[in-house]
Amino acid sequence: MENKISKIGVFTSGGDAPGMNAALRAVVRASIYYNKEVYGIMRGYEGMIDEEIVKLGARSVGNILQRGGTILKTARSETFRTKEGREKAFRNLKKHGINGLVAIGGDGTFTGLHKFYEEFNLPSICIPGTIDNDLAGTDFTIGFDTSTNTAVEAIDKIRDTALSHNRLFFIEVMGRNSGYIAINSGIAGGAVASIIPEETLTMDELFNKLDEGGKTNRKSSLVVVAEGSKMGGAMELAKKFSERNNYFDIKVTILGHLQRGGAPSYFDRVLASKMGVAAVEGLINGQTDVMVGIRNNVIVYNKFSDVINHRHEIDSELIRIAKILSI
Ligand code: F6P
C-alpha cells in the first residue's frame, strides 16, 4: 500500500565506497520519477545535525555515476550517538518537511538509522554501501567488487617485482573483521595463502605451507592478509615469519585506503542503480527500518534484526578452492 511520503532525504555515512554516487543518483532520479521531492544531506548524520540539507534535482546528480567517493561527503558522527544530537537532527528534517529517509552506508549507519526510527518513527531504508561486504542479508555490498578489483590489480603488480627478486610478500588488504576482500583477491591474484579472520590457521600451518614451497623451488610467494586477521596484520606476520625463514627475502605492502578510491566497476554501478531504485520504491510502498539487499540476484528487504548482529558468513567454497589451488 502506498504511504504519504512526499519528501525524501538521502545521505551517505561511514567509510566511502565506490558506487555510492551511483546509488545517490538512482535514489534522486527514482524519487523524481515517482513525483517526490528529494533532499541531499551533507556529511551523513553530521549534516543532519548541522542542517546542511540541499534540494536535489535530476541534473544535480548528472555526471557522478562513474565517480568514486561520495559527492554528499561522509562522516562517522559521534554527536548522533547522543539523544540531543538525534533530537536536533529530527527537528532539522522536520523543518524541511522530510518524511522519508534513505541512508547509504554500512552497519554503523544502519544501527544509527534504526535507533532514529525507533525514537521518531520516520520511515527509513538503508542501502548497503561498504567495501567490506560484511553485512548479512545481501550477497554483495556496493563498493566491494571495485575494491577487490583494485586489490587484485595491486597484487598483480607486486607479483612482477616479487618474481624478479625471489621475494615473499605479505600484502594487507582492508575489510575490517571480514575476509571477503582477502579471500577473493587472494584467489584472483594467485596468492599462496589468504589469511582471513573467519579461518583459524595457525602460524605453524602457514610456516609449513611456505616452507614446502621453498623446498619445491617456489622462488617467490604472495600471502594476502586481511587487516582483521587474528594472527596479526601483514607487518606482524612478516616479523614472526622472518624469525624462522631460511628461503625468502620478505617484504610487506599495506594497500590501505587506495582500495576505497577510484571509479566504480560496472558491477557496482548496476548494483547501486538497482538498490537505489529499490530503496525509493520500498519506502513508497511502506517498507521501513529495513536494509535493501540482493540475494541470488533478486532484490530483498531485510529487517534490522536480521542484519545487525548476524555475520555475513564467508563462502566456505572459496576457502576450499584457495587451498586446492595453492599447492
Ligand atoms: O569499512 C570500510 C573500511 O575501509 C574498512 O575496511 C576499514 O577497516 C575502515 O573502513 C577504515 O576506516 P577509516 O577510513 O575511518 O580509517
SS (H, E, C) 150-169: HHHHHHHHHHHHHHHHCEEE
pLDDT at 10: 98
Whether residue 103 contacts residue 124, with contact meaning beta carbons closer than 8 Å, is answered with yes
Query: What amino acid is encoded at 89 in this protein?
Result: A
pLDDT surpasses 70 at 1: no
How, if at all, do strands 100-105 and 7-12 pair?
Answer: parallel
CA of 242 to the centre of ligand 1 (A): 28
Taking alpha carbons only, the member of 188, 182, 196, 103 closest to residue 144 is: 182
- The predicted model gives 53-67 an average pLDDT of 98
CA of 14 to the centre of ligand 1 (A): 8
In angstroms, how far is the first alpha carbon of the chain from the final one? 56
Tell me the per-residue pLDDT of 276-287, one tens digit each, with 9 for 90 and over.
999 999 999 999
Residues with a known catalytic role? 132
Domain positions in the chain: 7-143+264-306, 147-260
Which residues face 222 on adjacent strands?
169
CA 175 to CA 225: how far, in whole Å? Answer: 10
CA 18 to CA 122: how far, in whole Å? Answer: 28
CA of 73 to the centre of ligand 1 (A): 15
pLDDT bin (cut points 50, 70, 90) of residue 216 is confident
The answer to whether domain 7-143+264-306 and domain 147-260 are alike in fold is: yes
Whether residue 100 contacts residue 9, with contact meaning beta carbons closer than 8 Å, is answered with yes
**% pLDDT > 90, the chain:** 87
Tell me the per-residue pLDDT of 139-190, one tens digit each, with 9 for 90 and over.
999 999 999 999 999 999 999 999 999 899 999 999 999 999 999 999 999 9
Probe ligand 1: pick from 20, 78, 176, max atoms within 8 Å of CB? 176
Tell me the per-residue pLDDT of 128-140, one tens digit each, with 9 for 90 and over.
999 999 999 999 9
Give the CATH number of domain 7-143+264-306: 3.40.50.450
Query: What amino acid is encoded at 157 in this protein?
Result: K
Atom of ligand 1 nearest to the CA of 131: 2
Q: Which CATH number fits domain 147-260: 1.10.150.120, 3.40.50.720, 3.40.50.460, 3.30.530.20?
A: 3.40.50.460
Probe ligand 1: pick from 78, 254, 260, max atoms within 8 Å of CB? 260
